[in-house]
A and B are shown apart, each in its own frame.
Chain A
Amino acid sequence: GAGVSQSPRYKVTKRGQDVALRCDPISGHVSLYWYRQALGQGPEFLTYFNYEAQQDKSGLPNDRFSAERPEGSISTLTIQRTEQRDSAMYRCASSFGRGNTEAFFGQGTRLTVV
């Protein structure tokens, strides 16, 4: 696609429910990153894929968070048993290569847990 696409744009869920956030990166981009961004703050790293391999998941807050990219393209970030503290903007970014290349960010998914 023309840019990084994330869906849904907004998600309101009840505490305890599972949610799945989707990221469709730019075609041909090898690297895919998930971030969480609080209002007025910089992106906080969650996890990173190179092709389908999850290279680093050290930023995932706890074991309720998981991510996959089974075919090296679309990625899903899943949050199980959501809690109010999970409310945030979740952003995906992709780049042609890893490391020193320009990253393109999606518009994000605004998650609200009530």
Chain B
Amino acid sequence: QQPVQSPQAVILREGEDAVINCSSSKALYSVHWYRQKHGEAPVFLMILLKGGEQKGHEKISASFNEKKQQSSLYLTASQLSYSGTYFCGTETMDSNYQLIWGAGTKLIIKP
């Protein structure tokens, strides 16, 4: 079952913060976050495995809630290079190692 990402799109000024959410109707085994720039391949950001886990990657961090049904990606002091579409890929206990991907959140950063 496809996870729900919100918002679908967000426009920010450089330096502003954004939060992207990824929700599932059932408990997840893991959540993977990727960023894809226009015309390019998706690029790995981070994986979260444990309920309550938080991870950081420069000014991009993510959390995985205790029930393991929602993950949020936090972008602070956004830079022009953060523009792109952000996808979460989710894995459940019975998904046989395959990821089910959300529809993506398009992030536009304006100078």
Contact = CB atoms under 8 A, between A and B. Distances in A.
Interface string A31-52: 1010000001111110010000
A56 B96 contact: yes
B97 A106 contact: no
Given A48-B97, A99-B97, A43 B44 contact: no
Number of contact residues on A: which range applies?
20 to 34
Interface residues of B, number: 24
A100 B30 contact: yes
A99 B49 CA distance: 11
A69 interface: no
Contacts of B47: 100-102
Interface in B56-92: 85, 87, 89, 91
Nearest to A3: B41
Interface of A: 4, 31, 33, 40-45, 48, 55-56, 58-59, 91, 98-108
